Amino acid sequence: MVTVRLVGISKGWSGVKAVDNLSLDIGNGDFVTLLGPSGCGKTTTLRMIAGLEDPDDGEIYIHGKLVFSASKGINVPPAQRGLGMIFQSYALWPHMTVFDNVAFGLVQQKLSKDQINQRVTRVLADVELEGLAHRYPSELSGGQQQRVAVARMIVVSPELLLMDEPLSNLDTRLRMQMRASLKRMHQETNTTVVYVTHDQEEALTMSTGIAVMNKGKLEQYASPEEVYERPASKFVAEFTGNPQTNFIDAEVVDGRLKIGDRFIGHIDGDALPNAVTLSFRPEAMSIRQESTPNTLPATVYATLLVGASVLVYVHIGNIEAVIRAERGSKFRGNQEIWLEPDWTQVNVYSPTTGRRLDYAVRG
Amino acid sequence: MNGLKVRFRKLANRWRKPETILAALFLVILVYLVVVPLFSLVQTTLVWGTGDTRIRGENVVVGKFTTYHWRRMLSGDFAEAVFYKPLLNTLIVTAGTVAIVLAVGSLLAYLVVRTDIRWAKLINALATVPYILPSWVLSLSWLQLFQNSTVAMPEGLLSYYTGINAPEWLVYGPIPIMITMGLHYYPFGYLLISGALRSIDSQLEESAEILGASKSYIMRRITMPIIKPALFSTALLGIARSMGTFGTPAILGLPARYYTLSTQIYSLVRTQRQGQGYILALVLLAISGIGLYVNQRVISARRSYATIGGKGVKSRKVRLGKWNTPIAVLTILFLLAVAVFPLVFLTWSSLTLYAGDYSISNLSLHYWIGESNPRFVAGEPGILRNEAVMGAAWNTVKLALVGGLICGFAGLLIGYVVARARRALTSRLLEQVSFVPMLVPSIVFGALYLTLFAVRRGPVPALYGTFALLVLVTVAKQLPYTVRSGVSSMLQVAQELEEAAVILGASWFARLRKIMLPLTKNGFVAGTVIVLITSMRELSLYILLVTPANRVLTTLTYRYIEVGYTQFSNAMTVLLTLLVVVLTYAINAWQKTDIGAGLGGR
């Protein structure tokens, strides 16, 4: 069952395409994240689903109902699309109390005072804000404000909830807590969520599906595991890297991979290209103290301790790369080391198009 | 075919949005209130008017095209007397006024913002007082101080107490006009310049200091360039305002036959020679236009300066040391002389039965509460029991409140439209057009409305002589101020605040009422108060438009000044000032108490 269906939607301003012919299906009960750098069109897409922005082209269906069509001239107002939206700034009305903020949507629906009271009280309890109903937004902490914003939208029980970077204004610790509580809310209410973020970690931790966008186009739409393990393009691999993804160009000689003047590993498949780009996550390489077959020589540039592990910045020839090593590993600057890839975690890309190539690699 | 249909639907979708409809509506209204009058003004200078039938030797057909007015105004003795001479006078007076505004404004701003001067708060408060006084308070009190028998007037205070008779050039003419206008208009210079000075992060100057620059070098190369836009705006506003001011040059110029463009326009229009008077109005407009153009050129290239500093600006104060107290005392005395003493003089004068006699025995409340007595001011009863005066006072208050509210509301709505669709052509046009009245000198604006609403045009009835016309001219003329505050307060309300309400199903009116208006109330009140103050003490704008039926205090006061009822008109001026002060104070007090807790913003 599909909740949101985007068919070829485009939107541009003065010649620049913010969203370019985007098609996407979001299933019932999914938590789908639109992930991408700023300016990739993710927020515009979300706002078009909400009806706050009109596409130049394409069609939008929500719950099977056509809510926007450029060619048929259909444009259903936001309020009749049966959705809620949580804004990056929370957009709480500063002149209204928490209660009035949350009750706003119910007042618009002209519910009775008793009903409003009941539902607001219940939803405030759900987000653990009971007792704060008569505070003003400016008297709340960031996390509390965020929960008011959530309460204000879920109180009208929308079947679709749109969130525009709702956690980006919170500090790290609070952000983690709120991730957990949003995820739990999603499980409990079984609402479909479309979530916009530029934080790959947030996307990976929370979503059932990730749509990676770049320059208005969809780069990859898949499960978090798939996006992380098999990025469809160099862009996706790069953007989901933590702290970065390493790319190394290799020549293909008789089914073997050649980096610099060193042969390393094999590549299988028909019609092999002459050159490929290999991607390694920092954890996809192990550091060896001496040269063995299938290893790459490198020199240590710097070592950073990041809590559970150590990040070793190395130079492979003139390429900079990051390797994640066990905590306690000690390296000197300029020390000679050898890197051994974990071939199951290596992806192959076309150096020209940047798309993933479906060749198997092995040691 | 299909493409056309889609385009039409898109257009229809756009027209569903209230901001589009509002923008179009306001554009139509503004074009009628601002652009049409300009055309009508030009037209009047090119046709025969009803007052021209007396002219001999010309084939006068009322309403037919003629170049007579232009010919007459551009060359010959008449042009010399009513155009070139007043133009030169205007330029001289304006230059002097602007110089005083800049000098006093920047000096005060510097003292308050950049030095550790004592009693800075008091000085700051006093410095803005002249703004709320009617512009001619200073000129009337100037006369009260300096007039004497050499100019065939009753003795002023100076002459009465010291026996010194001031020469005529000190009593009437360009010198006193410049001084009194400059001292009336300096507050906005002070406000603009001190705002600019406050925004300078002193780190900018300290960096230069560390690099070894001298104080004067820093002033020249760093401080001055940064506040340059403010100085230019001050000069431009000063030019536009002082050129269009009527009261001061009328009171201090006309008795000595010293005409400026504004008083010349008045006298031409009053003698039914609109065709010629409006040519002068066009000249005033042209000068303002040039000023605007220059200002745009200078400021737009420097716009990036506007955001310097912003937050957490540190300002190191210059130490005045042992000169602190003397400078502070001098400054306060000066401000009292400009803001408070004039009112004292006028009040004193209004309490003297016979003009020029300041002895205790001559004190009387006759001009305030006296019964009609044919020996004084042709039997006019004291102002507080005078029906004409009370009627005009009521009109003034009514006009200020109605005009202020309409103007404030319109400014807010235009601000909404502009803020919602910054990119749209309509909003840019709307913003531009709504700013035009700022540059049209008041007396010209009055003239415009006189031609526009003298007769019925299409669905718009002849409004001349009605209260509605005064409201209309007030709203149109003051709109730039409320639009400015409307735009800035609407811009402060994040669009998301409204969108959240859209998602939750609130209609446009519900959003306006529950979200946008409550959040922009401060801007609304501020804009309204400015209009209120300005329109209550405005003379130049209304002087051509009033009839006995719709007089306001300012125009009635001027009528009494014209016929020489000195004490009587002084009493009225004091009354007007009191009304302005009380009303402003009341609104401020009410507004402050009314703003609920939690409006501090997120």
Q: What is the ipTM of this complex?
A: 0.83
Neighbours of B249 (CB within 10 A): 31
Neighbours of B373 (CB within 10 A): 13
List, for residues B148-183, the tens digit of each pLDDT value: 877 777 777 888 888 788 888 888 999 999 999 999
Tokens at B560, concatenated: 């009494």
Contacts of A54 in chain B (CB under 8 A): 10, 13
Which residue among A73, A91, A156 places its CB closest to the CB of B9? A73
Check residue B600 and give its pLDDT. Answer: 30
Q: Identify the CATH number of the domain in which residue B237 sits.
A: 1.10.3720.10
Average pLDDT over residues B543-551: 87
Tokens at A315, concatenated: 């130079």
Q: What one-letter code names the amino acid at A22?
A: L
Average pLDDT over residues B563-592: 85
List, for residues B364-373, the tens digit of each pLDDT value: 888 888 888 8
What residues 411-440 of chain B have any CB closer than 8 A to a CB of chain A?
Answer: 423
B459 touches chain A (CB under 8 A): no
Which residue among B6, B503, B599 places its CB closest to the CB of A78? B503
Helix B425-439 to helix B467-492 angle (10° resolution) is 130
Check residue B362 and give its pLDDT. Answer: 84
- Cβ atoms of B436 and B448 within 8 Å: the answer is no
Whether B359 maps to a domain, the answer reads no
**Greater confidence, B414 or B317?**
B414
> Measured on CA atoms in the order A121, A127, A132, A136, is the torsion positive or negative?
negative
pTM: 0.79
Whether A177 has a pLDDT exceeding 90, the answer reads: no
Helix B566-594 to helix B387-420 angle (10° resolution) is 40
Distance CA A204, CA A197 (A): 11
Whether B544 has a pLDDT exceeding 90, the answer reads: no
Q: How far B309 CA sits from the closest chain A CA (Å)?
A: 24
Distance CA B66, CA B86 (A): 24
Nearest C-alpha neighbor of B136 from the set B535, B541, B477, B570: B570
Count: domains in chain B? 1
Contacts of A153 in chain B (CB under 8 A): 503-504
Contacts of B504 in chain A (CB under 8 A): 79, 84, 104-105, 108, 152-153, 156
Q: Which residues contact B371 (CB under 8 A, 6 or more apart)?
A: B381, B382, B385
Whether B280 maps to a domain, the answer reads yes
Whether A164 has a pLDDT exceeding 70, the answer reads: yes
Q: Which residues contact A289 (CB under 8 A, 6 or more apart)?
A: A337, A338
Contact across the interface for A70 and B502, Cβ inside 8 Å: no
Contact across the interface for A136 and B597, Cβ inside 8 Å: yes
Check residue A130 and give its pLDDT. Answer: 87
Contact across the interface for A139 and B502, Cβ inside 8 Å: no
CA distances from residue A244 to A237, A247, A287, A323, B145 in whole angstroms, order as listed: 9, 10, 17, 10, 81
Whether A73 has a pLDDT exceeding 80, the answer reads: yes
Check residue B94 and give its pLDDT. Answer: 94
Check residue B1 and give its pLDDT. Answer: 44
Check residue B597 and give its pLDDT. Answer: 30
Lowest mean pLDDT among A265-274, B333-342, B458-467: B458-467
- Cβ atoms of B557 and B576 within 8 Å: the answer is yes
Nearest C-alpha neighbor of B177 from the set B128, B231, B243, B235: B243
Q: What angle do CA A88, A89, A95 make, to 5 degrees?
A: 145
Check residue B300 and give its pLDDT. Answer: 56
Q: What is the mean pLDDT of chain B?
A: 83
**Greater confidence, A251 or B566?**
A251
Average pLDDT over residues B439-452: 82
- Cβ atoms of A194 and A25 within 8 Å: the answer is no
Contacts of B505 in chain A (CB under 8 A): 79-80, 105, 108-109
Whether B330 maps to a domain, the answer reads no
Q: Which domain holds residue B249?
A: 87-304
What φ, ψ does residue B160 adopt, rounded to 5°?
-65, -45
Neighbours of B348 (CB within 10 A): 18
Whether B315 has a pLDDT exceeding 70, the answer reads: no
Average pLDDT over residues B258-268: 92
Whether B386 maps to a domain, the answer reads no
Average pLDDT over residues B207-229: 78
Whether B19 maps to a domain, the answer reads no
Check residue B595 and give its pLDDT. Answer: 35
Neighbours of B170 (CB within 10 A): 17
In the three-class reduction of DSSP (H, G, I as helix; E, B as strand; rest coil), residue A59 is classed as strand
Nearest C-alpha neighbor of A145 from the set A67, A203, A89: A89
Whether B225 maps to a domain, the answer reads yes
Whether B58 has a pLDDT exceeding 80, the answer reads: no
Whether B313 has a pLDDT exceeding 70, the answer reads: no
- Cβ atoms of B151 and B172 within 8 Å: the answer is yes
**Of A95, A140, A144, A169, which to mutate for an interface test with B (greatest number of B Cβ within 10 Å)?**
A95
Whether B159 maps to a domain, the answer reads yes
Check residue B364 and give its pLDDT. Answer: 85
Find the closest chain B residue to A91 by CA distance.
B497
Distance CA B251, CA B594 (A): 42
Check residue B481 and give its pLDDT. Answer: 84
Contact across the interface for B500 and A78, Cβ inside 8 Å: no
Whether B204 has a pLDDT exceeding 80, the answer reads: no
Q: How far B504 CA sits from the closest chain A CA (Å)?
A: 5
Tokens at A205, concatenated: 């931790």
**Of A13, A69, A104, which to mutate for an interface test with B (greatest number of B Cβ within 10 Å)?**
A104
Check residue B299 and give its pLDDT. Answer: 60
Find the closest chain A residue to B602 by CA distance.
A138
Q: How far A95 CA sits from the closest chain B CA (Å)?
A: 5
On the question of a cis peptide bond just before residue B249, with omega within 30 degrees of 0, the verdict is no
**Greater confidence, B595 or A194?**
A194
Q: Which residues contact A129 (CB under 8 A, 6 or more apart)?
A: A98, A144, A147, A148, A151
Lowest mean pLDDT among A20-24, A50-54, A231-235, B124-128: B124-128
Whether B3 has a pLDDT exceeding 50, the answer reads: yes
Q: Which residues contact A63 (CB under 8 A, 6 or more apart)?
A: A3, A82, A159, A160
CA distances from residue A198 to A38, A41, A218, A257 in whole angstroms, order as listed: 7, 11, 14, 34
B9 touches chain A (CB under 8 A): yes
Tokens at B396, concatenated: 């003034």
Check residue B15 and give its pLDDT. Answer: 67
Whether A163 has a pLDDT exceeding 60, the answer reads: yes
- Cβ atoms of B281 and B449 within 8 Å: the answer is no
Check residue B2 and give its pLDDT. Answer: 55
Check residue A8 and give its pLDDT. Answer: 95
Q: Read out DSSP for B446-487?
A: HHHHHHHHSS-BTTBPP-TTSHHHHHHHHHHHHHHHHHHHHH
Q: Which residues contact A318 (CB under 8 A, 6 or more apart)?
A: none
Nearest C-alpha neighbor of B120 from the set B314, B318, B312: B318
Whether B116 maps to a domain, the answer reads yes
- Cβ atoms of A292 and A309 within 8 Å: the answer is no
Whether B305 has a pLDDT exceeding 80, the answer reads: no
